Structure 1
Amino acid sequence: MYSSTHGNAKYAAAGFPTAPINMPPSQVSPFRGSAASATTWSTGLCHCCDDPANCLITCFCPCVTFGQIAEIVNKGSISCAASGAVYGLLALTGLSCLYSCVYRSRLRGQYDLEEAPCADCLVHFCCETCSLCQEYRELKNRGFDMGIGWQANMDRQGRGITVAPVVGRMAR
């Protein structure tokens, strides 16, 4: 984000996107400061084999994975069970991808991630399980223990217990 010399520090600290006044409108996004500053995801969309247990759970019961993601993205304001239940009910109507794409957008905004490989709603419409797995891995790689929820993660962080984030995989 920007420093206090731009007068936007208090907004940036609160999580609001800030952009310089002279930035062209095509470079301003409601989720990020600028398109040029976006970072890449820690794993690709189709790297589900990186976490086979989560892949299996997501394939058979995506509401569990979605609930875990939503609780972290919402910073605990909505429980995993409540988010998962809403997702499950929407899945009965076929509209769950519209609900989950909103959370992908929020996650990208919180961590300044690029909108890739295409628009959030298209990713969720075409590859719902892969997108949920990618979002789960992203949060896990950023140090969240997805199985314990938001509050337990904050308690753990407050006690100084952190999980080192996974930066990348080694390849030959």
Structure 2
Amino acid sequence: MANKGAQEEWSTGFCGCFSDAGSCCLTFWCPCVSFGRVGEIVDQGTIGCCIHGTICCLLGVTLHLAPAIYLWIYRNKMRRTFNLEGNDCADCLLSCFCFHLSICQQYRELKARGYDLSAGWAANVHVQSGGATKAPTFEGGMNR
């Protein structure tokens, strides 16, 4: 988690979708998949991509504004985790009225921070740790 000093700028602007055509297309055609991937990384794998995507989709089918509230919670959580510029009100408005752009910006931000969103949280941890699953052990202990 980032410290609470000066807020960092987002890696791309809110309307910078065309800087990454892949995430732009994914978010336009399958926003629940795109959001599911973002949610899994933001939650550090405690809730999987499929669960986030399904919840978002079901909320969209059953209740009109509910997915926007769900997206707002995760935009806010991500912004606070990485100490990104913005505020609660802006997060709410962007998630409610421009949810495709909001998801796409979050997706690009995580990619810019080195995450492979299609791989999921566990694979990202594995890559960032260099494939280590536990601390190395030495036979015979430590000697001087």
Among 69, 75, 81, which residue is 1:110 paired with?
A: 81
Gaps of 5+ in 1: 1-14, 18-31, 161-172
Paired-residue identity, %: 41
After TM superposition, the runs of 4+ consecutive aligned structure 1 residues lying more than 4 A away are none
Q: Gapped runs of 5+ residues in structure 2? A: 132-144
SS in 2 for 1:119: helix
The number of residue pairs the alignment matches comes to: 128
Name the structure 1 match of 2:27. 58
Correspondence for 1:143 = 114
2:125 to 151, 154, 157: 154
Distance 2:26 2:107 in 1: 11
Kindly report the root-mean-square deviation, in angstroms, between the aligned alpha carbons of the 2 structures.
1.6
Taking the aligned partners of 1:79 and 1:125, their CA distance within structure 2 comes to: 23
Instruction: Please tell me whether Structure 1 or Structure 2 has the larger radius of gyration of its CA atoms.
Output: 2
Give the letter for the 2:108 counterpart.
R
- Could you give the per-residue CA deviations for residues 35-83 of structure 1, whole angstroms, max 9, x where no partner exists? xx11110000101001112111111110000000000000000000001
